Structure 1
Amino acid sequence: MYKVIGLTGGIASGKSTASAYIEEQGFKVLDADVYARKVTEKGSPGYHKIIDAFGAHILDDDEEIDRAALGKIIFNDPEERQKLNQISHPEIRRMMNADQEAFIKEDHVFLDIPLLFENGLDKKCDLTVTVYVTRENQLDRLMSRNGLNEADAAARINSQMSLDEKKALSDRVFDNNGEEENLFRQIDEFLKELQNEEL
């Protein structure tokens, strides 16, 4: 019986690295962020709803949604974030569910979802995994990766459920405070158990 595994983490926790590695091992990973980009694609129903909600000033010169401009609005205002989520989440879910149903017939499927627990989507998974780093490491990595000052980086981290909370809710934790090789070793172990039906 194939399993649906919810993979989550926080900004700059290394979730994307884990996700890419799992995909390299031949598993299907459905990435909520990829679907989110489809929702905001120029001309899509989501695109028009987002412009109606936030105004045309969030568009760039090519009339694409400027993700940085939209990010500035939603990361600092929970109500605005909620407004965006109400537009995008049902659409993302619809697309992901359709793909999940197709792929689960052939193998295990990983759902890469940043807001897995926040949106109660863990209940749709057989197993949940969090890619974990300490807050200190998360802050450092985010500042150096995105060139953010401490206040902006902290605002982004604070807009999410803490990794400590996610860790407590998860069936499994990949600790990413060390070297990348160490993360990959933990993933290999997990995938082996999954294949041997030990999970």
Structure 2
Amino acid sequence: MGLTGGVASGKSSVSALLREAGVTVIDADLLAREVVEPGTPGLAQVVEEFGDHLLTADGSLDRVALGRLVFADKSARRRLEAIVHPLVYERIAALEAQLAPGELVVHDIPLLVENDRAGDFDAVLVVDAPEEVQVERMVRDRGWSAGDARARIAAQVARERRLAAATVVIENTGTREDLRHRVSEVLEELRGEEREGRAPH
């Protein structure tokens, strides 16, 4: 299954609840950080491509400086992705090879819809919240201004497009317990359909 959601939608909370329920969750962002840790071939390739000025004093990648570079330059972003993405896919394949046959696995991918990956999965779980709720959370929890929060939302794929890619929508507008209950419902449905050999809907 693929899992995605807009900024401050609660995707990370759903990911954590799935793990609590014993589901294997493969986090693409986490793997993307792991493949460029100090001493990895990935970091060596990034330094070779972009220069050692992107290293901090302890030899790790300066993610803030790299972020400034690649978000201002599409060519640089594509060059970085050409290094990181194959390494991430290699790690995903290795993790999937360790799974038991038929085991339910969820891939946590923030840019699943942006990268047209919906067709790669048996089901796509989209965590959804209205824009006003997203803005309220970013202002309250991250200390952002409302303007910055709206700009971040505007920079992402439209909510309508994300929902159109969903096999299952997990609405997250209530309490943590409401979300836990909804995740449990979704898991029960997915596992039931998996046992019956039907595609989730």
Q: Same fold (TM over 0.5)?
A: yes
* Equivalences, count: 195
| Aligned twin of 2:63 | 67
Could you tell which deviates more after superposition, 8-17 or 55-64?
A: 55-64
Contact 1:131–1:175 (Cα < 8 Å) also in 2: yes
Letter of the structure 1 residue corresponding to residue 86 of structure 2: P
Compute the displacement of 1:122 (Å): 2.0
| Aligned twin of 2:17 | 21
Q: TM-score, normalised by structure 2?
A: 0.84
Could you tell which deviates more after superposition, 122-131 or 54-63?
A: 54-63
How many angstroms apart in 2 are the aligned matches of 1:54 and 1:149? Answer: 32
Compute the displacement of 1:143 (Å): 4.1
How many angstroms apart in 1 are the aligned matches of 2:65 and 2:170? Answer: 32
Map residues 17-96 of structure 1 onto 2, 5 A cutoff.
17-96=13-92
Task: Report the CA distance shift for 1:144/1:170 in structure 2 as closer, same or farther (over 3 A).
Answer: same
How many angstroms apart in 1 are the aligned matches of 2:79 and 2:138? Answer: 25
Map residues 112-191 of structure 1 onto 2, 5 A cutoff.
112-150=108-146, 152-191=148-187
Percent identical among aligned pairs is 38
Give structure 1 stretches of 5+ with no counterpart: none
How many angstroms apart in 1 are the aligned matches of 2:4 and 2:159? Answer: 9
| Structure possessing the higher relative contact order (Cα contacts under 8 Å, 6 or more residues apart) | 1
Task: Report the CA distance shift for 1:144/1:119 in structure 2 as closer, same or farther (over 3 A).
Answer: same
Contact 1:6–1:125 (Cα < 8 Å) also in 2: yes
Task: Report the CA distance shift for 1:46/1:163 in structure 2 as closer, same or farther (over 3 A).
Answer: farther
Q: TM-score, normalised by structure 1?
A: 0.85
Compute the displacement of 1:20 (Å): 0.7
How many angstroms apart in 2 are the aligned matches of 1:125 and 1:153? Answer: 30
Compute the displacement of 1:7 (Å): 0.6
Give structure 2 stretches of 5+ with no counterpart: none
Compute the displacement of 1:147 (Å): 3.5
How many angstroms apart in 2 are the aligned matches of 1:142 and 1:54? Answer: 32
Could you tell which deviates more after superposition, 177-186 or 143-152?
A: 143-152
Task: Report the CA distance shift for 1:155/1:64 in structure 2 as closer, same or farther (over 3 A).
Answer: farther
Contact 2:3–2:106 (Cα < 8 Å) also in 1: yes
Compute the displacement of 1:18 (Å): 0.3
Q: What is the SS of the residue equivalent to 1:12?
A: coil
How many angstroms apart in 2 are the aligned matches of 1:66 and 1:155? Answer: 24
Compute the displacement of 1:142 (Å): 3.0
Compute the displacement of 1:155 (Å): 4.8
How many angstroms apart in 2 are the aligned matches of 1:153 and 1:77? Answer: 22
Contact 2:127–2:172 (Cα < 8 Å) also in 1: yes
Q: What is the SS of the residue equivalent to 2:98?
A: helix
Q: What is the SS of the residue equivalent to 1:35?
A: helix
Task: Report the CA distance shift for 1:52/1:136 in structure 2 as closer, same or farther (over 3 A).
Answer: farther
Compute the displacement of 1:144 (Å): 4.0
Task: Report the CA distance shift for 1:158/1:81 in structure 2 as closer, same or farther (over 3 A).
Answer: farther
